């Protein structure tokens, strides 16, 4: 894996990130249950971070739906997952709410930067049979969930982020072996660029995610 962030313009991070989020819809029906107005991807991110910190037991299925939207809105074909979520009958949603609450209660209050512990939690998430995180290869969504629980520790295993660091194999973002390699690499990047990422509202781990996403987006635009 390579570091493409040498010389990155950190002072323009938010502006460049926002420009890449043109598909975000602040009035999406998937956000109605939040009870909060969010005008951008970053605004929704911070609301989700705040809500996930409120208690040990995660509050309500609407939060999970909003998280799914945040992760999937830029991928039109993936929004079918959300349409299935909305079409579920009340009994199915009640069961899902119970599983989501149980998942929240099963998570430790805090974790360290420990690869084996994070992999164990990722595998444990699968036992709760939640839409979007059922498959053993659903690492992008499972790491998204863990990121909101532990935003200073767990980076999101995103396809574009992996491509930015030179991992371009098909389905790399669904491979637990890639995750095991990427976790310490992302932590090292956060430490390497520590002086540049101070002063932002997001965690160092999240700032690295954002910057790598921007780098790959620009590379694709030039192709």
Per-residue pLDDT of the chain (223 residues; tens, 9 = 90+): 999 999 999 999 999 999 999 999 999 988 988 888 899 999 999 999 988 877 544 457 888 889 999 999 988 777 777 777 666 677 777 878 888 888 988 999 999 999 999 999 999 999 998 888 888 779 999 999 999 999 999 999 999 899 999 998 988 999 999 999 999 999 999 999 988 878 899 999 999 999 999 998 766 545 4
- Position 222 scores a pLDDT of 52
Residue of 162, 155, 156, 153 whose CA lies nearest to 114:
153
Contacts for 57 with CB less than 8 Å, ≥ 6 apart? 101, 104, 105
pLDDT value for 56: 47
Question: Do 212 and 220 form a contact (C-beta atoms < 8 A)?
Answer: no
CA–CA separation, 210 and 202 (whole Å): 10
In terms of Cβ atoms closer than 10 Å to its own Cβ (0-12, 13-18, 19+), residue 105 is: exposed
Query: Tokens at residue 106, please?
Result: 């099963």
pLDDT value at position 223?
44
With contact defined as beta carbons under 8 Å apart, do 182 and 197 qualify?
no
């Amino acid at each position: 894996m390579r570091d493409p962030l040498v010389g990155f313009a950190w002072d323009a991070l938010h502006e460049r990130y926002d420009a890449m989020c043109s598909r975000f819809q602040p009035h999406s029906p998937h956000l109605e249950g939040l009870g909060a107005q969010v005008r951008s991807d970053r605004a929704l991110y911070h609301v989700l971070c705040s809500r996930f910190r409120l208690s040990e037991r995660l509050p309500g299925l609407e939060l999970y739906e909003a998280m799914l939207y945040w992760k999937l809105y830029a991928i039109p074909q993936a929004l079918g997952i959300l349409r299935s979520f909305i079409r579920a009958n009340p009994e199915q949603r009640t069961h899902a709410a119970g599983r989501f609450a149980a998942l929240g209660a099963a998570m430790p209050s805090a974790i360290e930067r420990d690869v084996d512990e994070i992999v164990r939690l990722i595998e444990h998430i699968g036992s709760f049979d939640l839409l979007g995180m059922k498959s053993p290869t659903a690492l992008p969504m499972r790491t998204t969930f863990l990121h909101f629980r532990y935003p200073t520790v767990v980076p999101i295993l995103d396809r574009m982020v992996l491509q930015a660091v030179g991992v371009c194999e098909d389905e790399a973002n669904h491979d637990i072996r890639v995750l095991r390699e990427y976790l310490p690499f992302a932590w090292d990047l956060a430490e390497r660029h520590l002086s540049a990422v101070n002063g932002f509202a997001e965690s160092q781990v999240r700032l690295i995610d954002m910057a790598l996403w921007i780098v790959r987006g620009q590379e694709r635009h030039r192709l």
